[in-house]
Amino acid sequence: MEPGIQQILMIISFSTLLAAMVLALVRLIRGPQSADMIVALDLIASIVMGYILIYAILADKMVYFDIAIVISLISFMGTVAISIYLKHNR
């Protein structure tokens, strides 16, 4: 009984993250400025991190925790790189 409840709640939080992903994708496509797109990409990286962390519980493997570290590193690098590129480009 207990694992069933936990899995149902986990699926609910998966779908919440999926809804957040859809909203961020809408902003990514519609964004009037390029800064909107950078912010949306940053949010999408965080959503993917949350996804992988919840999937680590679902798959019962500790290895997925390392992916979160790597994604947070790459997301920070990408955000700063794109914003510095835009600053020097204009």
- Rounded to the nearest 5°, which phi and psi values hold at 45? -65, -40
Is 26 a binding residue for other proteins by CB under 8 A? The answer is yes
Least Å from the CB of residue 70 to other proteins: 10
- Complete DSSP assignment for 27-66: HHHH-SSHHHHHHHHHHHHHHHHHHHHHHHHHHT-TTHHH
Q: How many helices (H) and strands (E) does the chain have?
A: 3, 0
Is 39 a binding residue for other proteins by CB under 8 A? The answer is yes
Is 48 a binding residue for other proteins by CB under 8 A? The answer is no
Is 67 a binding residue for other proteins by CB under 8 A? The answer is no
Question: Could you tell me which of 42, 43, 67 has the C-alpha nearest to residue 54?
Answer: 67
Total number of residues shown for the chain = 90
Interface residues toward other proteins, by CB under 8 A:
2-3, 5-6, 9-10, 12-14, 16-17, 19-21, 23-24, 26-27, 33, 35-36, 38-40, 42-43, 46-47, 49-50, 53-54, 56-57, 62, 65-66, 68-69, 72-73, 75-76, 79-80, 83-84, 86-87, 90
